[in-house]
Chains A and B, each alone.
Chain A
Amino acid sequence: MITISGLHKYYGALHVLQGIDLSVEKGEVLSIIGSSGSGKSTLLYCINGLEPIQQGQVTVDGVDVHAKGTDINKLRQNMGMVFQQWNSFPHLTALENVALAPRIVRKKSRAEALDIAAKQLEHVGLADKLNVYPNALSGGQQQRLAIARALAMEPGYMLFDEATSALDPELVGEVLDTMRLLAEEGMTMICVTHEMSFARDVSDRVAYFHQGVMEEIGPPAQIFGDATSAHTRKFLANVR
């Protein structure tokens, strides 16, 4: 379970997250929507400790992410993250991209790591691309590679930061399908997304962020059908 309480985050004087309270249960899929600059990416970075926070607390399975004694690298192994820019490691083949972290972080044997990597690449539909370098893959394939790479660490949580926003429209579907598959398998997911159909159909809850504040959170039917906040309604009217 991920628990966020009273979270404040500043970039210099900019108050980017203004008191966020939120918890995500095991097995839940939460989608976060909201206009650009509202602090969605920053929230994900604060959850896995890529950005420090100024006030409040984030705990993952009871472990305080930002506490001094916390082994952040250990914690991150349990939280896969997929970025808008897919960030394939260009000097490694697809198989090596996925096998690297299990090898050097989880200390698996080479054979075991390659085995895990091959399985995860098959999982995301890239079984025929094992020995291909990323520059020979499409954006959609590279994003699925990034998902496989995160899954190879056998995380309990997956964080997606606009995983489809940088893709050509015809490539969005294959990545969303992979994310759907994970949701069906019971993965706990926090998905920052602009894909409203995904948010509506796949998530258990949807949160709307506006200027560093979580204005509204609830089941998709409530957010999309009966939003209480005027900002949420305006945002949804514009994206539809």
Chain B
Amino acid sequence: MNYNFHWKPVFNNLPGLLEAGMLTLQVAVLSMLLGICIGMALALIRLHVRGPLRWFATTWIEVARNTPALIQLFFFAFGLGALGLYLSPYTIVLAGLTFNNAGYLAENFRGGLQAIPETQIRAARSLGMTAPQAYLRIVIPQVLRIVYYPMTNQMVWAVLMSSLGMLVGFRELSGETQALASTTFRIFEYFSVTAVIYYVIVKIFLGAAHLIARRLFRY
């Protein structure tokens, strides 16, 4: 074992890595926000709508949950490219992660929606609330509590999954690491530091999620 560790070049480039880390966090957060909205829509469609729209929602969920995330990403990169639609690496990763998040979250949301008794909606409607008001004010807040922990898991998954971005030329944390490492050949050192950065991002997020939950769910 005579490999010499050289950490100095890595630490010199730490600001660049941290900046890429912020990009990772940004794309993960955005893809979660979009995924939550779309996932809720998919779940509601699956529960309440018949016809082609329901088929569309079911297909989305099935593909998102049962095919590799990498291939989903490749679809937005090369699949659409083959059709003449070229997206920026950022958009590809955002779209891929959103597609995946929405599919997984939809299933969680569906379970959550089914756990809210029909009588809650009746009570809300009897007060003169419209159906959308009843969903927005009564049903969805309760669902969000039920799915809160599955949702934080999905967010962690999104942060880690975004590393696939380096395979479509996106310079998020892994892509940036790869680029820097290949110029200095300190591959092991670079990816060790990057792993630590991922770990810290995830831990900070989970801590924040825990604190938010304590403030939000006091019942």
State the A residues within 8 Å of B (CB): 48, 50, 73-74, 76-77, 79-81, 83, 85, 87, 89-91, 100-101, 104-106, 133-135, 146, 149-150, 153
- In the complex, what residues of B have CB within 8 A of residue A80's CB? 126-127
Q: Are the C-beta atoms of A104 and B129 separated by less than 8 Å?
A: yes
Can you name 21 A-B residue pairings with CB atoms under 8 Å? A48-B126, A50-B126, A74-B128, A79-B126, A80-B127, A83-B122, A83-B123, A85-B117, A85-B119, A87-B117, A87-B119, A87-B122, A89-B124, A90-B219, A100-B137, A101-B129, A105-B128, A133-B219, A146-B123, A149-B127, A150-B127
Known: A90-B142, A104-B137, A135-B219. Contact between A153 and B127, CB under 8 A? Answer: yes
State the B residues within 8 Å of A (CB): 117, 119-120, 122-130, 133, 137-138, 141-142, 145, 217-219
Distance (Å) between the CB of A91 and the closest chain B CB? 5
Q: Are the C-beta atoms of B138 and A153 separated by less than 8 Å?
A: no
Partner of A89, one of B120, B125, B133, B217: B120
Partner of B126, one of A74, A81, A91: A81
Known: A83-B119, A104-B133. Contact between A76 and B142, CB under 8 A? Answer: no
Q: Are the C-beta atoms of A105 and B126 separated by less than 8 Å?
A: no
Known: A50-B126, A101-B128, A105-B128. Contact between A89 and B138, CB under 8 A? Answer: yes
Known interface pairs A83-B123, A101-B129, A150-B127; 17 further A-B residue pairs with C-beta atoms within 8 A, sorted by A's residue number: A73-B129, A74-B128, A76-B128, A80-B126, A81-B123, A81-B126, A85-B119, A87-B122, A89-B124, A91-B217, A91-B219, A100-B137, A101-B127, A133-B218, A133-B219, A150-B126, A153-B127
